[in-house]
Copies of this chain bind each other. A is one copy, B any other.
Amino acid sequence: MSTPQGARARARQEITAAIKEAARRQLAEEGAAKLSLRAVARELGMVSSALYRYFPSRDDLLTALIIDAYDSLGEASERARDAASTAPPPARWIAVCEAVRGWALAHPHEYALIYGSPVPGYSAPETTVRAAARVGLVLIGIVRDGHRGPGLAGLSLTAGLRPEAERMAADLAPDLPPEAAVALVAAWAQLFGLVGFEVFGQFHRVVEDREAFFRHAAARLAEGVGLNGS
């Protein structure tokens, strides 16, 4: 009688959260490949088969962690945008880029989970897609703001790309010129190229002052999407 929603439902939520928490810790320590349902169960003091009441398979657990990671990254980028809300668009762009980088360096295994090799088979559940879009939306918003002001500077378009560019603009941000939509998507992928190379150690013995290097690259990325250097 006590709790309205039923004590059992709440217990289920709590246990589900505890499982994800333990799994996330294992993920951070050992990586996705080493994440073991049995080890998670052991850490929680339950038997491994009991865990299947909460997640029907290891891949489902991983999918839950993937969605959480996308949300965490999205939140970090939104926080950076809001913290820089009074700055001009180029500075805001750089702030968000640095937030993405900072999050990735702080959570390398979770970053690998969402932007490295897709580990669970090849499924991309629809829920994942929505969670993945958050960072993109933040970037779109900044570019939109920037283009309201001084306008775009020096964005070109290869001949054959115009129809695709118009389609992309219509899908992504109808109020943006097609050139900007193309440049934005490219910059989006390139941002994660920079971050991924750093997180995955590809800059080893190539870039030393990675902080300064990234700041510079992010600034040039901003120019690339038409945000004229502040």
A contact set with B: CB distance below 8 Å? 31-33, 112-113, 115-119, 122, 124, 129, 132, 156-158, 160-161, 163-164, 167-168, 171-172, 182-183, 185-186, 188-194, 196-197, 200-209, 212-213, 215-217, 219-220, 224
Q: Bound state CA distance, A115 and B167, in angstroms? A: 30
Quote the shortest CB–CB distance from A127 to chain B (angstroms).
14
- Per the bound structure, the CA–CA distance linking A161 and B105 in Å amounts to 21
- Complex partner residue of A158 from B32, B117, B124, B216, CB under 8 angstroms: B216
Q: Contact: B194 with A190, CB < 8 Å?
A: yes
What CA separation (Å) do A124 and B201 show in the bound complex? 9
Closest to A197 in B: B189
The residue that A216 contacts in the complex, of B124, B161, B220, with Cβ under 8 A, is B161
Contact of A213 among B31, B182, B190, B217 (CB under 8 A): B182
A24 vs chain B, min Cβ distance (A): 16
Could you tell me the distance in whole angstroms from the C-beta of A119 to the nearest C-beta in chain B? 6
Report which of B118, B157, B188 forms a contact with A201, defined as CB distance below 8 A.
B118
Contacting pair B219 A206 (CB below 8 A): no
Copies of this protein in the complex: 2
A164 touching B209, Cβ below 8 Å: yes
Chain B residues contacting A167 (CB-CB under 8 Å) are 208
Whether B220 pairs with A161 at a CB distance below 8 angstroms is: no
Apart from the given pairs A115-B196, A182-B213, A189-B194, 12 other A-B contacts in the complex at a CB distance below 8 Å = A124-B204, A157-B216, A160-B212, A161-B216, A163-B209, A164-B209, A182-B216, A185-B213, A186-B194, A189-B197, A189-B202, A191-B193
Could you say which residues of chain B place their CB within 8 Å of the CB of A192? 193, 196-197, 202
Minimum distance in angstroms from A56 CB to a CB of chain B: 19
Q: Are A212's CB and B124's CB within 8 A?
A: no
Given A192-B193, A193-B193, A217-B186, also A212-B117 (CB < 8 A): no
Contact A219–B117 (Cβ < 8 Å): no
List, in ascending order, chain B residues with CB within 8 A of A182's CB: 213, 216
B164 touches A213 (CB 8 A): yes
Contact A158:B212 (CB < 8 A) given known A206-B185, A220-B224:
yes
- B185–A189 CB distance below 8 A: no
Q: Which residue of B lies closest to A192 (CB)?
A: B193
